[in-house]
Each structure stands twice: as C-alpha cells, then as structure tokens.
Amino acid sequence: MKKKIIIKVSILFIFCFWVARWICSLPEVAIENDPKVSMTLNTGEALFWGKGTCHVCHRIGERGYALRGPNLGDSKEGAVVAERAKHRADSLNLNSAADYILQSIAQPGVFLVPGYNNEMPKVYQPPVSLYPSEIKAIVFYLLSLAGDSTTSAFELPAAIVKYYDASQESTFKITGDPASGHQLYFALNGAAACVSCHTAVDSSGLEMGKSVGPDLSAIGLIRSPEHIYRKIIKPDSNIVSGYEDLLIKTKNGRFFTGILKSEDDLSVILLDRVGTETIIQKKEIARRLPQKISNMPMNYAELLTEKQIQNLVAFLTLQKRSRED
Ligand code: HEC
Ligand code: HEC
C-alpha cells in the first residue's frame, strides 16, 4: 500500500517537474530599450487589455466586448490581425506585417480599414502615453496571435520616436541658480563671457552687452529652457536666421567670414566674433558662401561645468523684457 502511494507521489512529482520545465522553456521575448523593465509577451498582452486601451475599441476573436474598431482576432471580419497585416502590407508596399501594425499605431489615419472612420487615437500621445518599448511589446503580442514568435528586432516609426524624444525634453527641469548665472553671463573675463556677444538685462535693469549675436533680453519669452541649454552645448543646432556665418571670397583671393551686418548696392558689412566690422566692396566679391555654422564658441560643454550651464539657463529663462521699440 505504502509503496503504491510512494510511486503515485513520485509520478506526480515527475509530472509537475516536467510541466514546470516545459513552462520555463516557453520562449520569453525580452524587449530591449527601457523604461527599466524587461518586457515580455505577457507584458504586451497586459498592455493591450489594460493601459494601452486597445481593448476599449478592439476585440480579439471571442475575447473582449468592444465594437468600435475592427476585431483583431480570427472573426467574421477576417483572419487574425497578423495574417491580415501581411496582405495589407503587400498592397501598401510595406515590408512586413509588423510594419503594417506599426503604421496603424503610428499614423492611424494613413490607411483606414474599410467601414471604419479615422478614430483610433495616437496611443503614444496623452492620455494613453505608451512608451516606445510598450508599443513594441504590444506589436510582439499581436504578431504572436498568429503563432509568430519572432523576436527579430524592428524599428519603430520615426513619428513615435520623435514624439517620445520631444516629450522627454519637455520634462527638462531648471535646477540652476539665476544669480550665479547672472554673474557668469556678465563676467567679461569669466569662462562664459556671453556678454561679449549678446545683450541681456542685468540686475540693475540695464541692457548690457555687444550685439555680435542676437539680443537675449527677451529670450525667456520665445525659447524653452531646454532649447537654451542645447544652444549652449551645441551651438550648431537651430542657428538663428540672419546670424548664419557668411564666408566671402574676394576676386584677389582673400577670405572674410562673419555675420552679415548690413548690405547696400555697393558694399556689405561683416561682423566677426570679436565685434570688428569689415566693409567689403561688392565689385571685389567673387563668391558668397553661407556657412551652416554658428559664430558662438563651440566648446562651452568643455569650458563650463554642468552646474554653470544650468545656472546660465536659469538666468536666461528669466530674461523676459517686454518692449515695443
Ligand atoms: C478609440 C478606439 C481605438 C483604440 C483605443 C485603439 N484603436 Fe486600433 N483601430 C480603431 C479603429 C476605428 C480602426 C480602424 C480604422 C483605422 O484603420 O484606423 C483601428 C485599426 C487598428 C488596426 C488595423 C486593423 C486592420 O484590420 O488592419 C490595428 C492593428 C490597431 N487598430 C491596433 C490597435 C492597438 C494595438 C491599440 C492599442 C495600443 C489600438 N488599436 C487602440 C480604433 C481604436
Ligand atoms: C563669440 C560670440 C558669442 C558668444 C561668446 C556667445 N554667443 Fe550665443 N550666439 C552667438 C551668435 C552669432 C548667435 C546667432 C547664431 C546662432 O544661432 O548660432 C548666438 C545664438 C545664441 C542663442 C540663440 C538665441 C535665439 O534667439 O534662439 C542663445 C540662447 C545663445 N546664443 C546663448 C549664449 C550663451 C548663454 C552664451 C554664453 C555661455 C553665448 N551665447 C555666448 C554668438 C555668441
């Protein structure tokens, strides 16, 4: 009797062990790229039926209640979405089922499933705000519904990545101290010496500085803190129009560079980095070559500490002079 029980328990044990091993050997799709979680197929499923809100509009086969959007499972409306997506990808000249599904998510309006309106929200934007990695997880989940457990990487559409990057930037926090930024800005012999090229309003309310670069006394009204931050560490981004560097070659082979300060029928005036003006007669000019480079020093990221840059940003964000002349 005892022996029988032992045998039964052993068989049960072996069976459980085997099931456990089988479960563990199921492919687990790890999806790279943040936010500090490793995503799996399960995550994709949970997101579809949860945070992703897909279930508010889509059913999958018999599962779910929604009627607003197409059923994404095997149903009256067609084969399971991954199959359907292959045909749609072919007719839309997309590479793969994944690309079609991604397009449906990135730009829902580009191709409308016949019989439906352009009603699907951009789920990477508020209020749903899925992360890029979460969108990937959902796409893997939808592909897996057709038995496709490919884990081969695919690229997210630029619309999603761009939106995400921009939203990251706008979480920029001003951590600097405006008073220290003020000091650094106006110190002619300091590491920044912004005042040697830009005017701004100092603590006594006076506008001070040279005008090699644009006036910054109202910069806080027109530029975000992160824009100002980026401009300091990477001047070549977003060059202010009218302030591009101009390279002029004269007929006798000389070169001049600077910002075009003014121009009339006879001559042009260039303003160089230290504020010196050069007048060049038009009849002497052989070529004018606008340069895609900024006249701002390129090495602030090395010259200044992160704290100093933050201080400057804090100071400039408060430059909100209003005037009409
Ligand atoms: C407010 C309703 C709504 C929500 C929420 C929604 N969708 Fe949609 N979806 C639609 C509608 C309507 C269509 C059909 C029109 C079109 O093609 O854009 C559609 C189309 C699709 C298609 C193309 C289906 C086909 O047959 O070609 C896919 C794939 C898709 N949605 C995936 C998703 C995923 C994934 C989510 C969640 C992250 C989601 N949808 C959230 C309404 C929604
Ligand atoms: C040698 C001259 C020079 C110095 C020094 C200089 N800049 Fe500039 N800056 C320019 C010029 C020229 C432009 C316009 C061309 C461009 O956008 O790159 C400019 C553009 C800018 C802009 C963009 C303004 C706008 O309207 O979008 C900001 C912000 C700025 N500078 C901040 C600074 C700060 C902060 C410092 C000091 C750390 C500094 N600059 C030092 C020459 C200078």
> How does pLDDT run across 116-165, given as a tens digit for each residue?
988 899 999 878 889 888 898 999 999 988 876 665 667 888 888 888 88
* CA nearest to 135, candidates 169, 96, 164: 164
Is the pLDDT at 191 greater than 90, yes or no? yes
pTM across the whole model: 0.51
How far is Cα 271 from Cα 97, in angstroms, rounded to an integer? 56
pLDDT band, residue 313 (cuts 50/70/90): very high
Helices 225-233 and 306-317 sit at what angle, rounded to 10 degrees? Answer: 140
Contacts of 249 (CB under 8 A, 6+ apart): 255, 285, 286, 287, 289
213 ligand 2 Cβ < 6 A: yes
Distance (Å) from CA 100 to ligand 1 centroid: 12
Encoded tokens for 113: 């499933």
Please, what is the Cα angle at 47 between 46 and 50, to 5 degrees?
80
Other beta carbons within 10 Å of 243: 16
pLDDT band, residue 177 (cuts 50/70/90): very high
pLDDT band, residue 318 (cuts 50/70/90): very high
Number of the ligand 2 atom closest to the C-alpha atom of 294: 18
What the chain holds in terms of domains, given with CATH numbers, is: 26-163 (1.10.760.10), 178-238+298-317 (1.10.760.10), 245-291 (2.30.30.100)
Phi, psi (rounded to 5 degrees) for 43: -60, -45
The better pLDDT of the pair 91, 294 is held by: 91
Is the pLDDT at 185 greater than 80, yes or no? yes
309 ligand 2 Cβ < 6 A: no
- Tens of pLDDT, residue by residue over 206-237, are 999 998 899 999 898 888 888 899 999 989 88
> Residues 136, 124: contact at Cβ < 8 Å?
no
Encoded tokens for 192: 């920044």
If you take atom 21 of ligand 1, which residue's CA is the nearest one? 104
Task: Give Cα 31 to chain centroid, integer Å.
Answer: 20
Q: Which residue, chain included where needed, has tokens 């779910």?
A: 64
pLDDT value of position 243:
83
* CA nearest to 295, candidates 322, 257, 323, 261: 257
Encoded tokens for 26: 């199921």
Return left, alpha or beta for 61; rule: phi > 0 is left, psi -120 to 50 is alpha, else beta: left
